[in-house]
Amino acid sequence: MKDNQNINCRKCNNYFITWDKKFPFGCKVLNFKTTRLPSIDVKINSGLPCMLFKEKKNVR
């Protein structure tokens, strides 16, 4: 994935929706839940796009 592209977590195999109303989104591989898409938190905290993006095989 190019550096200048935004990563869409919803198309990532590691993305999941939680039952936690305070932290509704999560990343399996990085093992955290967040209020935003995980890729946004990764970019904010590391300054780099998520390097663990793995596209789902069957994206609608």
Return the pLDDT at 4: 46
Burial 26-53, CB ≥16 within 10 A → b, else e: bbeeeeebbeebbbbbbbeeeeebbeeb
In the chain, which ranges are E strands? 15-17, 25-27, 32-34
Return the pLDDT at 60: 63
Helix, strand, coil share of the chain (percent; to 5):
20, 20, 60
pTM: 0.80
HSE (CB half, 13 Å, CA atoms) of 8?
A: 5
pLDDT digits 0-9 by tens, 2-56: 544 689 999 999 999 999 999 999 999 999 999 999 999 999 999 999 999 999 9
Going from N- to C-terminal start, the domains of the chain cover: 1-60
Return the pLDDT at 6: 83
